[in-house]
A and B are shown apart, each in its own frame.
Chain A
Amino acid sequence: MTMDAAASGPSSSEGGNGSGEETLVQAGPAGPGREKFVAPSLRSRHVYLRPLTAQDYPHLQGAEMGTELMFRWRLRGATPSPEQWVQMVWHQVLAQFMVVGQVRNKPLGLVSVYRANFQDGYAYLSAARLEPRKPSPLMTLGVSLFVDYVFACWDFRKLYMEVPEFNLPQFASGLGRYFELEGRLRDHFYFDGRYWDQLTLAIYREVLQREGLRLDRGRRSAIA
């Protein structure tokens, strides 16, 4: 896959919002009362976000069909055709980025916001780590960055995540702090001889503004 060849630091303007402007001020947490234009940042100290391109497809498809992601994520064991897979990748997507490490430009995962409901002020968030077996703090930082970006660009009240219950242990410590459990479909998924619940988690804008600070102090200078 094609990746940015040059290592870049948090101060780089490359890959921001694509404008190439070097004078843009990076945004803090989205919130009311701003008096100046502040562009949402696609970079934090350790990771950055870049839009998904066709050059990412082989790597992404390989991870999705060659790792535990095949069962933990949307395919759930199925093998769609290459054409169907591409359609699925972009189905109902509002914004989608690869999460990439700052030091080695290593793709870490994919984050998406999809099925947006502008009338009622919510959308759905998806996040998939390309190496799902290994616990990774970097992907979490990438998700935090992306959620900030989404709340800066659209006036959503909250973002839902639909999570099979077998995936929750990977990030359960955020429950009740960064996200809330708002729904449960009992015995919704079949996998490996049993049925599993589907959980609907919600990330609230105001909670992110309050608690998200803990996850990204390097990016927000207001933090003591």
Chain B
Amino acid sequence: MPSGDEPGRARAGEAPTSSVRPSVSWEQFAGEVADLADRPVEEIDETSRLVEDLGLDSVALAELVVILIERYDMYSLSKTLEERSWEQVTVRSLYDEYLTGVPPRAGGSSTA
């Protein structure tokens, strides 16, 4: 992975909605996804969908899940993996979930 930064050590990026959660910037978050998708980070924007636009398959999604839970402490993801659909999930909606701890609604539409 590109940075290897721990969330607590990451430089502050866009203002998080939670005051207690150590934040990783949008740019860093998008960089993780870009690395898994094997695409330049410039191609990742808030409307990019993980499966439909970036082509993440089951292996890449598994790697993403491990990174988000182990490195980003996204426990909301851990609890909902079995019923979660990855179709129509945008990078932004996943980043918002990281910031707020609240899973996206069904369909994974962006809240941005």
Contact = CB atoms under 8 A, between A and B. Distances in A.
A134 B89 CA distance: 13
Interface in B61-97: 61-66, 69-70, 78-83, 85-87
Interface in A143-183: 144, 169-174, 178
B69 A218 contact: yes
Interface in B28-49: 36, 38
Contacts of B64: 137
A51 to B, nearest CB: 20
Specify which of B56, B82, B83 lies most central, judged by the most chain A CB atoms within 10 Å of its CB: B82
Contacts of A144: 62
Interface in A99-121: 101, 103-104, 106, 108
Nearest to B61: A137
A136 B79 CA distance: 15
Given A137-B64, A214-B66, A104 B57 contact: no
B57 A217 contact: no
Interface of B: 36, 38, 51, 56-66, 69-70, 78-83, 85-87
22 contacts: A101-B81, A103-B79, A103-B82, A104-B83, A106-B83, A129-B58, A134-B85, A135-B51, A135-B61, A135-B86, A137-B58, A137-B61, A137-B63, A137-B65, A137-B81, A137-B86, A138-B82, A140-B59, A171-B59, A173-B36, A174-B59, A218-B70
